[in-house]
Amino acid sequence: MKKKNILFTGGGTAGHVIVNLALIPSFQKDGWNIDYIGSYEGIERKLISELEGVTYHSISTGKLRRYMSMENVKDPFKVIKGVFQAWRIIKKQKPAVVFSKGGFVSVPVVIAAKLCRIPTIIHESDYTPGLANKIASRFAQQVLTTFPETVNYLPENKAIPIGAVIREELFQGNEEIGLTLTGLTKEKPILLIMGGSGGSRTINTLITDNLEEILTEFQIIHICGLGNVNRSATRKGYVQFEYVNEELKDILAITDYVISRAGSNAIFEFLALRIPMLLIPLSLAASRGDQIVNAKSFKESGYAHVLDEEKLTKETLLRSIHRLKKSGPVLIDKMEKFESKAVRENVIDIIKNTSKHV
């Protein structure tokens, strides 16, 4: 029987790649030919290039800004160029279906797939859809959402609430490997700090400035972001990484608590692993507010505590960390009611069923 081809797209941030990373192994196992369209220099190129058996294609992409900028004049031409580049790739590779995780690079791909009459399925992780997925949804066959409420922001006949897609390998972390990797022990609880794929200078600075106080109660794993490791902050019980990928499952296996931004993919992974979390969402000054809504939803569900960035100080951070430790059992009890493992298989079934009509 002839192998089927599938094309994945999504990028700009790790959050726009993680779901694809969760799905690709299943299609590899079933013998599909896999192509991936991303940007020339985005984080998706690095993450996907580490996978064997996946062909990566680069295209031009604009940023689709919501604010005034001279770059907005150039970007429509970049998007148009990207559409033609994606069209040529799709015509050559002949995918049976396209799966898009979002990000600016996905818009030309979804438009090109529509021009080639190839069905596209989009996955939207956040409570409110990003601008890229709002545009792309007009050309897609279906939009799968993590939050049920997200369907209210999308075309009624296309949106399907499906839940969070969690990478299977995250459930296979090894404590012994995690402790060896970090040089930590189980003498004190381990607090993981994550500021997103690019890190967070605000969070990083507050953590390193207050290491002595935090280390009295915790050991710390700090994922700082590329280029953000502070060599002068070396302490016993404190370990820094720029970025982790394959090692993440083992690090999460030893993590007792986490401080994180509120990107949907990451917080649903913490939820699936039952890790109590303190969320510090990106402020409106630095984002469209999606993380604020994500964090509010998790707080209302009893899965997390939230500290707004505008209220982030040494005092509020230390107080929130102490409260997180104290209320950990209560948060875990709420998390026990959440089930995630079936979602990934449901998404795979939807993709395969859609491809049968090509």
Least-confidence region, from 81-90, 163-172, 197-206? 197-206
Report the distance separating Cα 275 and Cα 122, nearest Å.
28
pLDDT (mean) for 292-304:
95
Q: pLDDT tens digits, residue range 179-191?
A: 999 999 999 999 9
17 with 146, same domain: the answer is yes
161 with 204, same domain: the answer is no
**Domain limits for position 206:** 171-335
Note the pTM of the prediction, 2 decimals: 0.84
- CA angle centred on 306, ends 305 and 311, rounded to 5°: 140
What DSSP letter does each residue of 244-307 carry, written as one string? -STTHHHHHHH-SEEEE---HHHHHHHHHTT--EEE-PPPTTTSSSHHHHHHHHHHHHTSEEE-
Q: pLDDT tens digits, residue range 64-85?
A: 555 555 556 667 788 899 999 9
Least-confidence region, from 7-16, 195-204, 332-341? 195-204
90 with 225, same domain: the answer is no
- CA angle centred on 300, ends 298 and 301, rounded to 5°: 65
Report pLDDT for 41. Answer: 87
Is the distance from CB of 131 to CB of 106 less than 8 angstroms? no
| Average pLDDT value for the chain | 91
82 with 137, same domain: the answer is yes
Report pLDDT for 68. Answer: 53
Report pLDDT for 159. Answer: 94
158 with 186, same domain: the answer is no
152 with 191, same domain: the answer is no
162 with 185, same domain: the answer is no
Is the distance from CB of 317 to CB of 206 less than 8 angstroms? yes
222 with 261, same domain: the answer is yes
Q: What is the DSSP-derived secondary structure letter of residue 201?
A: H
Between 339 and 27, the more confident residue is 27
Kindly tell me if the per-residue pLDDT of 198 is higher than 70. no
CATH of the domain at 19: 3.40.50.2000
157 with 17, same domain: the answer is yes
Q: Measuring CA to CA, how many Å separate 163 from each of 22, 339, 344, 347?
A: 14, 9, 9, 9
Report the distance separating Cα 11 and Cα 37, nearest Å.
9
Residue 193, classed as helix, strand or coil, is: strand
43 with 16, same domain: the answer is yes
145 with 177, same domain: the answer is no
Report the distance separating Cα 58 and Cα 290, nearest Å.
27
Q: Which amino acid is present at 294?
A: N
189 with 154, same domain: the answer is no
Number of domains in the chain: 2
